[in-house]
Amino acid sequence: MALDRSTIWPYDEDGEPRQFYYSRYGHPAGAEAEARLGELDGGTALLYPSGSAATTALALSLLEPGDTIALAAGAYFGTGVTFGVLEKWGIAYVEFDQTGPPPDGVQLVWLEAPSNPFLTMPDLEAAAAHPAPVVVDSTVATPVHLRPLERGADFVLHSATKYLAGHDDALLGVVVARDPAAADALRAFRTRTGIVAAADPAWLLLRGLKTLELRVHRQTHSAALVAERLAAHPAVLTVRYPGFSGLISFDVADAETARRVETSTRLIVNATSLGGVTSVMESRHRWEGDRVPTGLLRLSIGLEDPDALWADLAQALE
Ligand code: PLP
């Protein structure tokens, strides 16, 4: 589809609004992306300007002052930071081990499949048995590997900045709701608060989605190979790989070694984020502090030749 950047569209001959009339309410690229994303996760999708915006909008629209979120320990550190920001509006959060049941007395359960960067998988069955609504941040799994709405989740969230858009050139988030009425409530909240995605990144997302399945399968295949070789390398203490997706984390001896390794690669770019066509690696201690081991490196596998990636890593680990 052609990219339409309009913010307004003319009313019809009778002076009535057509499908699109003002872009805060909706625009063609966003609506098309939402249709595709809804199919992929099996629900009703809503686009947001970033994964963090999707997190904020979902939490604010579902919760009230006095409510508490049970957040998977070891999930994307920024999600906890965002919830911390919401504390002054009376929304609290507690962390729990997502491989077991969520705690009682919370109004929202927030899982991550698999968690970034610890790569644990949630117990979806135990969470679905909890009375509170369940959100699964499925950014790392993608709908290619997991459809949480079919496993009892109420909402799926993605940082579409990562695998869904896939080329490190679009910042976006998405929430997919199982219940169409819940999606309507989120849409009304989004329109009123103005937390809306622009047309340009939505169009890039549409283009990225055309190759999602191909990319994720290739990234998974290469990551499995690299994870296996990392596990056999004497300089590597621990490898975390869930058996699917393109994301690996592994530990070297200490912060100094991690810094040397991350700055010694030639093909793998020393940069943050994950899920793009280019492989990136970084030490996470710089961002996350003592919640991660000092020697933890997070490696997002792209579309390069896996043997060339391994050769690059091997020389950096020497
Ligand atoms: N969820 C996960 C699992 C992430 O890795 C990230 C970003 O790194 C986010 C959410 C936040 O997404 P964004 O950077 O698009 O705001």
Average pLDDT, integer, range 86-108: 98
Nearest CA to ligand 1 atom 7: 159
Q: How confident is the model at residue 113 (pLDDT cuts 50, 70, 90)?
A: very high
pLDDT per residue over 223-275, tens digit each? 999 999 999 999 999 999 999 999 999 999 999 999 999 999 999 999 999 99
Choose the residue to mutate in 161, 163, 249 for probing ligand 1, maximizing ligand atoms within 8 Å of C-beta: 161
Write b or e for each residue in 109-126: b if 16 or more Cβ atoms lie within 10 A of its Cβ, otherwise e.
bbbbbbbbbbbbbbbbeb
Which is the closest atom of ligand 1 to the Cα of 55? 10
238 CA to middle of ligand 1, Å?
24
pLDDT at 73 (0 to 100): 97
pLDDT per residue over 272-316, tens digit each? 999 999 999 999 999 999 999 999 999 999 999 999 999 999 999
Nearest CA to ligand 1 atom 8: 273
Q: How confident is the model at residue 168 (pLDDT cuts 50, 70, 90)?
A: very high
